[in-house]
Amino acid sequence: METTDIGLWGVPLAMLGGAIRVSTPFIFVSLGEAITERSGRINLGLEGTLVFGAMSAYAVAVMTGSPWPGLLAAALAGLCFGLFHGWICKFPKVNDIAIGIALMLFGTGLAFFFGKPFIQPSAPDLPAIAFGAWSDIPQVQAALNVNVLFLIGAALAVFLWWAFRNTRIGLIVRVVGDSADAARAMGLNPNTVRLLATGVGGALAGIGGAYLSLYYPGSWTERISSGQGLMAVALVIFARWNPLGCFAAALLFGGAGALGPALQSVGVTQGYYLFYAAPYILTLIIMIATSSPSRTLAGAPGELSITK
């Protein structure tokens, strides 16, 4: 692409575009995790789900020649992982955090196992909409080239925010997450609700993975995810289990993730790897700032083991 010289303005512009590009998987994983955690369980295995979703989406897209069956496959694979986590955690003394770690390793291993033949071929990308077509500056056009999944993710965040407050299902999930005893008294089975909530969470994480392999970075490699699934879990806590907060936090993380590449694009190469660590450092700082030893977090589901 021919680049017009717009000097240091390139950095914030590249970060804006980067934030939109990089944040999409965060949006989906964190919304999925928000649903799961609202029901009182934590699924750390979404990192593995993300990688497996990326692999299955890419494989199916290569085989069918269209990105959409790939997206569906990723969602289904994520659903299976989520349902498995939800099912196995209902047994007494089975720890949801530990199972999440195991699924993280298992999902990654399985993705590498089946993904080996798909490292070479190239798959069709998910479409993007050119919101920057009005501008003549290529950097602006690049920054405002927005993928449809980002828009779907934004709409989903608003919908979930509304649904948690105003729908029967939203209320059921929240009751189960706040007090399993109260839920049982209402005649609800907490295990079933959590099974479904974890399943839906997994499906959304799978879609996040599909975005990674089918749009940005847009290919399947074994290094495709570097902890996005895990950072999304931390992000949900920061967002106080609020879907709109998840969306905003995902954008912030996306911007931090885009810092390194943005600086590199204007010729700053010194300390590139340290900028690469920015999202992790940001997550850690946010976790430190928002945690407190003396009080439980506002808005935290009462049944969540991580905040007890």
Which H helix or E strand runs over 278? helix 278-290
Interior CA angle at 204 toward 225 and 70, to 5°? Answer: 75
Cβ of residue 77: shortest distance to other proteins, in angstroms? 15
Cβ of residue 71: shortest distance to other proteins, in angstroms? 24
Nearer to other proteins, 132 or 229 (CB): 229
Cβ of residue 94: shortest distance to other proteins, in angstroms? 5
Q: Is 234 in the site for other proteins (CB under 8 A)?
A: yes
Q: What is the Cα–Cα distance from 223 to 215, expressed in whole angstroms? A: 15
Q: What is the Cα–Cα distance from 25 to 49, expressed in whole angstroms? A: 12
For residues 254-273, which are near other proteins according to CB under 8 A?
270-273
Residues 6+ apart with CB under 8 A from 181: none
Q: What is the Cα–Cα distance from 284 to 194, expressed in whole angstroms? A: 28
By CB under 8 A, name the one of 46, 110, 256, 262 that touches other proteins: 110
By CB under 8 A, name the one of 108, 147, 198, 242 that touches other proteins: 108
Cβ of residue 90: shortest distance to other proteins, in angstroms? 10
By CB under 8 A, name the one of 27, 103, 175, 262 that touches other proteins: 103
| Contact predicate 77/103, CB 8 Å | no
Cβ of residue 237: shortest distance to other proteins, in angstroms? 8
Q: What is the Cα–Cα distance from 104 to 229, expressed in whole angstroms? A: 9
**By CB under 8 A, which span of 2-10, 100-108, 178-186, 203-211 interacts with other proteins?**
100-108
| Contact predicate 65/264, CB 8 Å | no
Q: What is the Cα–Cα distance from 89 to 66, expressed in whole angstroms? A: 36
By CB under 8 A, name the one of 14, 19, 172, 233 that touches other proteins: 233
Footprint of other proteins (CB under 8 A): 44, 88, 91-95, 97-99, 101-103, 105-110, 112-113, 116, 226-227, 230-231, 233-234, 237, 270-274, 276-277, 280-281, 283-284, 287-288, 291-293, 306
